Each structure stands twice: as C-alpha cells, then as structure tokens.
C-alpha cells in the first residue's frame, strides 16, 4: 500500500512538472522559471502556450521575453504576439494599449498594419454586450463610443495600408460599423422627437445624410428631416426632404401611394394604460414620430459576433500561414 502511494506521488509530481514546462499550468511564470533558457527556447515555450490556447501563461511569458531580451531576435515578434494573446484572452484594453505602443515604437515595421487591425478588433469587441450571446440585441442602441473608435482605427489602417492582407476584412467591418453609427443617429433623433426637440432631430437626420450616404439609414434620415422641419413650421425644407425621399425611396412607409408624406402619422399604443381606461380613451395620447425602416431597406442581418476572428477554426495546430499572419488568418 505504501509503495502504491509512493508511486502515485511520483507520477503526480512528474505530470505537474511536465505540464509546467509546457505551459499547461495556470500559474504565471517567474524569472526563475526561465533562468538558463536561451531566447529561442523561451520563444518556443511561448509558442507551446499559444498553441494550447493558454493565454494567461503566454501573456506572462511574452512579457518576460521582452524584459529579458529587449533587443533580441524575437523582441518585435513577441510584442505582436502579445497583442494577439491579450485580444484572445478578452483583455481588450491591454491589447489596445499594446497595439498603440507597438505603433509608436515601430512605425516602419512591415507588420505594423497587424497592430492596427487587432486594435480595431479589440475596440469592436468592447462594444459587445453580455447578453448578446443569449438573446437578440440592438447594438445601435448602446453607447457607440468604442464603435466610433474602431471605425477610426480601421479607416486609418485602410488609409495607410490599402494593400494590407487585413484590408478586405477591415472594409467589411467598416460597413457594419458605418451602418451601426448611422442607425444610432436615427435612434437619437427619435428620442429628440419624444422630447419635442425638433431642431435637434433635424440636425441628426442631416448628419446621417452628410456622413453615412451609403448606409440603409439614409431614408430614415430624410424622413426625420421632413417630419422635424414640418413640426418647426419650415414647410419648404420639409418638402425638399420629401421630394428626395420620393425620388429615391418611393416605398417608404410614411409615404402615401400618391407620394405625399404623412406628416400627421402617429402610432397609438397597442395596450391601454390605466389613464386610458379611467378616461375611457379620451386622454389616450399618441406616440411621437419614430422612424425605423430597417425591415425594408436593411434586410441583411447584422453579422454574428465580430470579436473572435478565429471562431470556427477546428485545427488546433498553427500552420505556416497562420504563423505568418500571427494567428488571424488561416
């Protein structure tokens, strides 16, 4: 019995030490763990952690690699791998900070476009809500600060590096972000209608037309302008917006078959409130104007989660192309 216990103890110690060497344990490495390792051996150990998706250990080892070999052969490569590992671990703020640091230190690096790309992905991922994976949500109704930042980052990527291997994917994401930002402006305009701030609503509609001309929110922007100018008593401006709407979007819901805009369009609540019941419907109030024609002009459903660029990859090993693109393309 004692011999069996001793053998189990030895086997347990052997497995734990082996896993620690391969980067499979959850404990963060220290400088003592890497003592005596060459830069190449250290980097290969990091690759083992990345291949096993042990992001915590990989991040710690990459930070140790930079501190121990700041001017080594794998220093710059390690900084790029750190951006990737932080992104995959869900630490988007650190990934963004690491990407900014890399761009600042190595503006002429041949793979600096990768830093811009992962920074944009991290900013997009920050816009995702906790319940997005469980229930359908409308991201355009959430804070769009990070979406604006991601739009600016990917726009800069395409401006500086139009032939980047990440350009095609960046353009697709920019279209998604553009549509989201434009829709957010329409949501704000609808809110202003509810508050009686008609001039502010008109300005939001005009902003959509001036800055998001190719987005599906343009017809709603025109409708917002028409309704707001009508409520402000500026009939000529309202008619101008209506004429453009009729010429380009004749099937818009607020347009009659004759092409006239329904300025008095109001939607009553489907369910009566207690005040409606007490007053027998006399005091039932109409909803303020609200415009949302996505079911007609934006039939393409929004993409699933944009944060994980490697979602769906089944190959657990990293191919040569995977390594050349730092894990983002395979």
294 in the same domain as 203: yes
264: in domain: yes
9: in domain: no
CATH number of 202's domain: 1.25.40
* C-alpha to C-alpha distances, 215 to 139, 142, 210, nearest whole angstrom: 16, 18, 11
CA distance 177 to 157: 15
What value does the mean pLDDT of the chain take?
79
Q: How many domains in the chain?
A: 2
Q: What's the average model confidence in pLDDT over 28-54?
A: 75
127: in domain: yes
1: in domain: no
**Residue 306, class by beta-carbon neighbours within 10 Å (0-12 exposed, 13-18 middle, 19+ buried)?**
buried
Most confident of 10-24, 39-53, 227-241: 227-241
Which of the four pLDDT bands, split at 50, 70 and 90, describes residue 72?
A: confident
Structure tokens at 311: 């979602």
246: in domain: yes
User: Is the pLDDT confidence value at 179 over 90?
Assistant: yes
**Which residues have a Cβ under 8 Å from the Cβ of 28 and sit 6 or more positions away?**
56, 57, 60
Q: What's the average model confidence in pLDDT over 203-217?
A: 94
18: in domain: no
129 in the same domain as 221: no
CATH number of 149's domain: 1.25.40.10
283 in the same domain as 212: yes
Give the structural domain span for 224.
196-299
User: Is the pLDDT confidence value at 212 over 80?
Assistant: yes
Q: What integer pLDDT is reported at residue 292 of this predicted model?
A: 87
User: Is the pLDDT confidence value at 312 over 90?
Assistant: no
Query: Following DSSP, what letter does each residue of 224-249 receive, concatenated?
Result: HHHHHHHHTT-HHHHHHHHHHHHHH-
User: Is the pLDDT confidence value at 62 over 80?
Assistant: yes
User: Is the pLDDT confidence value at 34 over 60?
Assistant: no
pLDDT digits (tens, 9 = 90+) for 217-233: 999 999 999 999 999 99
Q: What integer pLDDT is reported at residue 132 of this predicted model?
A: 52
User: Is the pLDDT confidence value at 239 over 80?
Assistant: yes
158 in the same domain as 202: no
């Amino acid at each position: 019995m004692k011999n069996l216990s001793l053998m189990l103890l030895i086997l347990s110690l052997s497995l734990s030490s082996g896993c620690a060497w391969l980067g499979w344990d959850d404990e963060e490495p220290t400088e003592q763990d890497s003592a005596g390792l060459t830069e190449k051996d250290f980097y290969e150990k990091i690759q083992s952690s990345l291949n096993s998706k042990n992001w915590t250990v990989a991040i710690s080892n990459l930070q140790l690699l930079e501190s121990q070999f700041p001017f080594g052969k794998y220093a710059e490569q390690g900084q790029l791998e750190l951006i990737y590992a932080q992104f995959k671990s869900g630490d988007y703020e650190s990934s963004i900070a690491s990407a900014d640091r890399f761009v600042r230190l190595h503006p002429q690096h041949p793979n600096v476009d990768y830093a811009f790309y992962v920074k944009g992905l991290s900013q997009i991922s920050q816009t995702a809500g906790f319940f997005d994976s469980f229930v359908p949500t409308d991201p355009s109704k959430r804070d769009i600060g990070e979406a604006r930042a991601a739009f600016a980052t990917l726009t800069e990527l395409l401006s500086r590096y139009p032939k980047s291997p990440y350009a095609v994917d960046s353009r697709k994401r920019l279209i998604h972000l553009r549509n989201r930002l434009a829709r957010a402006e329409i949501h704000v305009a609808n809110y202003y209608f509810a508050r009686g701030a008609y001039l502010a609503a008109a300005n939001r509609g005009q902003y959509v037309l001036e800055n998001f001309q190719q987005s599906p929110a343009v017809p709603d922007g025109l409708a917002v302008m028409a309704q707001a100018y009508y409520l402000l008593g500026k009939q000529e401006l309202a008619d101008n917006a209506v004429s453009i709407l009729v010429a380009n979007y004749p099937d818009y819901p607020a347009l009659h078959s004759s092409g006239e805009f329904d300025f008095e369009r109001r939607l009553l609540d489907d369910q009566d409130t207690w005040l409606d019941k007490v007053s027998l419907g006399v005091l039932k109030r109409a909803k303020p104007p609200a415009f949302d024609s996505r079911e007609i002009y934006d039939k393409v459903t929004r993409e699933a989660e944009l944060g994980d660029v490697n979602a769906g990859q089944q190959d657990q090993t990293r191919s040569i192309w995977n390594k050349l693109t730092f894990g983002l393309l395979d």
